[in-house]
Structure 1
Amino acid sequence: MKKQLLVLSVGMLALASCQSSGQKSAGVEADSASLKAINDSAFAKHIAVLASDDFEGRKPFTAGETKTINYLKGEFEKLGLKPGNGNSYFQQVPMVDIKSTPAGAMAIKGATGSLSLKYLDDFVAATRHVTNQVKVENSEMVFAGYGIVAPEYKWNDYEGLDVKGKTVVVLVNDPGFSDSTLFKGKTMTYYGRWTYKFEEAARQGATGIIIIHDTAPASYPWSVVRSGWSKSKLYLDSKDNNRSRALMEGWITQEVAKDLFKMAGKSEDLMKQAGKPGFKPVDLGLKVSLTINNAIKKSVSNNVVAVLPGTKRANEYLIYSGHWDHLGKGEAINGDSIYNGAVDNATGTAALLLLADAFKKAKHQPERSILFIALTGEEQGLLGSEYYASHPLVPVNKTVADINIDAMEASGMTKDIVVVGYGQSELEDYLAEAAKKQERVVAKDPNPSAGSYFRSDHFNFAKVGIPALYTGNGINNVKHGEAWGKAQQEDYTKNRYHAPADNFEPAKWDFSGMVADLRLLFEVGYRLSNESTFPGWKEGSEFKAIRAKSMK
């Protein structure tokens, strides 16, 4: 790797204390030793290991997990960090692994004909029920628009609808995607996430739920859905064996949806009408049947947790998080069946180790404690962070903030750095001040309709009130411009995201942007670690009241 990728002006990257709420951050500046710990060769060293075929795609419950968590434990020990969970570097996360395999085609019948859908090509489906087999037999199908119940937006797609025993068919995203006057416009709300739609269908008592895939509002192609659902899926272990969830959860392609509406004698225009206030669910006059066989394994996965104790306020904690897991082995694409996850998220996992090294090398050690958490099960639904949030190792009201790192792209230095969920917390103001020192700017998420704020682990910290910062890769590339930078991100999403092609290719990677971004996140954390004040949520944030309640 070319050393010139590291050549950034000392003046540009000098870290300094800044003003927060009228108070100085103890007049402490990070030194060059800390900055030098964050470099391209250190990144490459760890990514090469974590994204190697030997780690088998880092899926929980596999030999890849064992290798990954032991590697992280060993590296944290080498750095002199202490175990973050008593005497252990591990926090066990009870999970159940379910490999759901449809016994045959999904059969849909109506008065005018039938459809026989092919698994993976036309549909995907699974069950969370911890049982060997489930059967959905002649379940009536109802089109329930977006499948949303949102009182604050005066929206209820289930109003007057009894879905017990029925299968609801719903659209991805929320109405704001097609009408900027609704919900939060192009900025997806949690109501637009597929996870929410499954949760709401279960609350309504539906037997099944099928989401209609559409690339633009989903923000990813069918291939991502296909690859994700071709493998076993992990869930947190529950006392009721997930019987409270719908019997069947799945997706169909846009093409199948059109055929389905046609067979039902309904216009495709129903999908547009669903985005208008007052839309009422429509009985499709169709019935669906599917048998799903399960292979079940209960076990525990692990969050890896290390701590650097603070020198003055050790009972107050700043968290850096990033998920170590990826998708393991799955359907082969171009002969490759190992989903190495080099960008997603060997980069973020490596970043935790670089940050730990940087803090250890600081001449003025942080006054607050720093907790580094490599989380499990993010790819399975943010499971490791969900478990941590409900079983925190340090008090929530003593947790200053979470800085989450997920998927750092290696396409070079940018003039901007993106704040996902812009406008949520004061942490973005810290970032903006740090960015000025690199002559860079903070930018809003260029694709807020993708719902990225709800798609990484920081979200579970936010849900319990902890201010959370999640940054994305900038677009305005210093060397090649904005259009080029955007094209790189689109290419990654289309060709490598959640695919075996997400490999570490050191000859092609430009680390300069990753190094600069991580130094920014170090500066933000270093400032927070030496302050006596707590950052807060901004007015209008749905998490502000939760934080206020927890701090009493």
Structure 2
Amino acid sequence: MRTIFAISAIISTLATPAYAQTTTAAPDLSVDTLKSVTKELSDDKFEGRAPASETEPAVLDYIVSRFKAAGLKPGNHGKWLQDVPLVEITAQNVKPLTFTGGSAPISLDYRTDMVVATYQVTPKIDLSNSDVVFVGYGINAPERGWNDYAGVDVKGKTVVILVNDPDWQTMNRDGPFEGRAMTYYGRWTYKYEEAARQGAAAAIIVHQTEPASYGWGVVRSSWTGPQLEPDIAGDHMDQSKAIGWIQLDAAKKLFAAAGKDFDKLAEAAKRKGFHAVPLGLKASTGFVNSIRRQASKNVIGILPGTEAPDEVVLYSAHWDHLGKCDAVDGDDICNGALDNASGVAGLVTLAQANAKAGPTRRSQVFLAVTAEESGLLGSAYYAANPVYPLSKTVGGVNMDVLNANGATKNFVVVGAGKSELEDMIKPLVADEGRVIESEPHPEAGGYYRSDHFSFAKKGVPMLDATSGNDLVKGGKEAGEAADKDYTDNRYHKPQDEYDPDWDWSGALQDLQIYYRLGRELAEGDAWPNWYEGSEFRKIRDQSRGGD
């Protein structure tokens, strides 16, 4: 899940097809449903809702019971659940990550200085005396004339990589990688993918809080303990042996031992034409893996359409969280109340309202997906194995963390400037007396960090939006303080627990917009597309036969 941040510049008007003012009435949404579902799903008895855990069946039973009570029908050919084959890999007896060959040996301790894991489904990982190469941002983007791997062979070697894009410190959208706005090349997932394509034995990212958009505590809690991957043929043996992160201070010591200045090389890596730098060091680590194969589940409900039931509007949210995590004051359950029990509560609330309003021309599908925290695995599996063809999926809304800070004066589109759904929500936001603003921290790459991205890659326009932080009560100062408190103290930590004092009025504002957008799509015959120039436009056009 991506974190919530403060707001800055207003979205510019785009030359796009006009959508008529909607006449869909605002629904009567149940705050009691929001509270009860969020409270129940974040209860300690579910132990943090880890996928494929002992508590998953009870979590699924509860979600299905709420879907039924809301008026939904089973959405997977008469069944509520869709199997998502996963393999759980738990690293054990992790050796320090050591570097030799420099002015002094460097030994980095697991969890404190570094974290390491693997995608490979194998009982043992042994990285021994692997040559170390600094590859800057680890990007190979021929369409942008950029290749950090040019002229270097990293097969069997360990690559050290910077997080985010080279131009992330540019305070506008100008630059080879869209300036301040992170592209997919800046995401850690891409960096490991590219390192594997280059044949690297290990890929280690240097953690820096601002470009990563979260502190070391989030890395440590997310990258230790059981890790989930898709259970596929080949067992991911085409991936690097080891992947992981090191602390910034550890990286600086490492470079100093190699006789290099980290800051100078990081600065050089920002410029096109940067050449990878062998550090003259050898990296070693190792660990054993416990391996468990088990299917987790997506939950699918539907309100069938009347005239075009094969065309669907999609609402999604992930039900999973981290399970057991690093203890804080003796509490080791990461309950995930806001992240993302609240999103599932939003699904149930919207289902209730739509069922009460009666059937629509098109079908409406409500999808609670698994394993988002493990890399959007549940949504990716559905997108690759859709129950309803993606060419017939009109579009929809993904919900990842609802606003429990109170009503706001503004509304944020994450990754603004991508799809025509943005035009459709403009009158809906205006009806609430709010303004649409763009995300102030596009360097966080929020667009690539939640389940809508799985559908976007397949061409389906999905709105990813949230409240701003200009609170009706307290203004931006109060909103920014609340966001900072969540990011610093509760995000991916045991403190993300249900609070009976939360103010759900902001969530209700947003859900009104999601309801009206979905209802307009389901009642109408429009096929919103991506804007011209969007990276997802071509695949949508192909799936729709050039529409």
Q: TM-score normalised by the shorter chain: which range applies? A: over 0.9
Post-superposition CA distance 1:392-417 (Å, at most 9, x none)? 11111110003100011311111111
Classify the secondary structure of the residue corresponding to 1:297.
strand
**Which one of the candidate residues 43, 67, 81 is aligned to 2:58?**
67
**Which one of the candidate residues 43, 61, 70 is aligned to 1:52?**
43
How many aligned positions are there?
526
Post-superposition CA distance 1:311-346 (Å, at most 9, x none)? 211111000000000000122122110000001000
What residue number does 1:292 align with?
A: 287
1:128 aligns with 2:122: no
What residue number does 2:68 align with?
A: 77
Q: TM-score, normalised by structure 2?
A: 0.94
Q: Tell me if structure 2 keeps the 8 A contact 1:108–1:114.
A: yes
Give the gaps of 5 or more residues in structure 2: 1-15
1:539 aligns with 2:538: no
**Which one of the candidate residues 511, 522, 546 is aligned to 2:515?**
522
What residue number does 1:143 align with?
A: 134
Question: In structure 2, how many angstroms separate the alpha carbons of the residues matched to 1:484 and 1:173?
Answer: 29
Post-superposition CA distance 1:118-149 (Å, at most 9, x none)? 11010000011111111000000000000001
Cα distance, 1:286–1:477 mapped onto 2, change above 3 Å: same
Classify the secondary structure of the residue corresponding to 2:348.
helix
- Aligned residue type for 2:335: N
Q: Tell me if structure 2 keeps the 8 A contact 1:431–1:442.
A: no
Cα distance, 1:482–1:512 mapped onto 2, change above 3 Å: same
What residue number does 1:423 align with?
A: 417
Q: Tell me if structure 1 keeps the 8 A contact 2:87–2:293.
A: yes
What residue number does 1:4 align with?
A: none
Question: In structure 2, how many angstroms separate the alpha carbons of the residues matched to 1:271 and 1:533?
Answer: 48
* C-alpha displacement of 1:78: 2.0
* C-alpha displacement of 1:63: 2.5
What residue number does 1:166 align with?
A: 157
**Which one of the candidate residues 298, 301, 316 is aligned to 2:296?**
301
What residue number does 2:499 align with?
A: 505
What percent of counterpart residues are identical?
Answer: 46
Question: In structure 2, how many angstroms separate the alpha carbons of the residues matched to 1:271 and 1:480?
Answer: 40
1:375 aligns with 2:366: no
Q: Tell me if structure 2 keeps the 8 A contact 1:56–1:63.
A: no
Give the gaps of 5 or more residues in structure 1: 1-19
Question: In structure 2, how many angstroms separate the alpha carbons of the residues matched to 1:419 and 1:28?
Answer: 22
Post-superposition CA distance 1:175-227 (Å, at most 9, x none)? 12034523100000000000000000000000000000000000000110011
What residue number does 1:117 align with?
A: 108
* C-alpha displacement of 1:166: 0.2
**Which one of the candidate residues 319, 337, 350 is aligned to 1:355?**
350
Question: In structure 2, how many angstroms separate the alpha carbons of the residues matched to 1:122 and 1:22?
Answer: 53
- Aligned residue type for 2:105: S
Classify the secondary structure of the residue corresponding to 1:284.
strand
Q: Is the deviation greater in 470-479 or in 322-331?
A: 470-479
Cα distance, 1:21–1:188 mapped onto 2, change above 3 Å: closer
Cα distance, 1:155–1:23 mapped onto 2, change above 3 Å: closer
- Aligned residue type for 2:452: H
1:245 aligns with 2:239: yes
- Aligned residue type for 2:529: G
Alignment map for 1:85-234 (pairs within 5 Å): 85-179=76-170, 180-234=174-228
Post-superposition CA distance 1:506-550 (Å, at most 9, x none)? 12x111101111111111111111111111111221101110011
What residue number does 1:5 align with?
A: none
Classify the secondary structure of the residue corresponding to 1:535.
coil
Classify the secondary structure of the residue corresponding to 2:78.
coil
- Aligned residue type for 2:531: K
**Which one of the candidate residues 489, 501, 505 is aligned to 2:483?**
489
* C-alpha displacement of 1:22: 6.5
Classify the secondary structure of the residue corresponding to 1:210.
strand
Question: In structure 1, how many angstroms separate the alpha carbons of the residues matched to 2:244 and 2:403?
Answer: 30
Classify the secondary structure of the residue corresponding to 1:177.
coil
- Aligned residue type for 1:528: L
- Aligned residue type for 1:531: G
Question: In structure 2, how many angstroms separate the alpha carbons of the residues matched to 1:183 and 1:29?
Answer: 39
What residue number does 2:434 align with?
A: 440
Q: TM-score, normalised by structure 1?
A: 0.93
**Which one of the candidate residues 306, 315, 318 is aligned to 1:311?**
306
- Aligned residue type for 2:353: A
- Cα RMSD (Å) of the superposition? 1.4
**Which one of the candidate residues 250, 256, 260 is aligned to 1:266?**
260
Alignment map for 1:324-473 (pairs within 5 Å): 324-363=319-358, 365-473=359-467
Post-superposition CA distance 1:379-434 (Å, at most 9, x none)? 00000011011101111111000310001131111111110010000111111110
